[in-house]
Amino acid sequence: KKEGNEHFKEGKVEAALKCYQRALNAVSCDLSKAGSEMRLSCHLNAALCLLKLEKPKGALQECNLALRIDGRATKALFRRSKAYVGLGEYNKAKEDVDRLLELEPQDE
């Protein structure tokens, strides 16, 4: 994951995405809290990469996986709303924004 973060900072989005995917494979069987947190972080980072690569369908899938880990993950909801916009699914994007405002009303 750390290597992916470095690639992302350098603008190497595809390389970063591959690192996050490798990290997900490495922790896929780790059912500990730390493993769940790592998977959540990697799914969120992969979603961000996919949004930057203009691949909203993949980003949507990553966000859904993140939300299975933590249904209140605001970054996942925000990124999923962006993915829905990229797919032209504006009503679903609005639902996620509304949910975000419920969870974080001060972040309007």
Q: Model confidence over 41-72: pLDDT tens digits?
A: 999 999 999 999 999 999 999 999 999 999 99
CATH code, 18: 1.25.40.10
Residue 8 sits at φ, ψ, to 5 deg, of -60, -45
Question: For tokens 């203009």, what's the residue?
Answer: 54
User: Which domain, by its residues, includes 32?
Assistant: 2-107
Q: Are 47 and 72 in contact (CB under 8 A)?
A: no
Structural domain count, the chain:
1
Q: How confident is the model at residue 108 (pLDDT cuts 50, 70, 90)?
A: low
pTM of the model: 0.91
pLDDT at 14 over 90: yes
Q: What number of other Cβ atoms are within 10 A of residue 95's Cβ?
A: 15
Question: What does the longest C-alpha to C-alpha distance in the chain come to?
Answer: 37
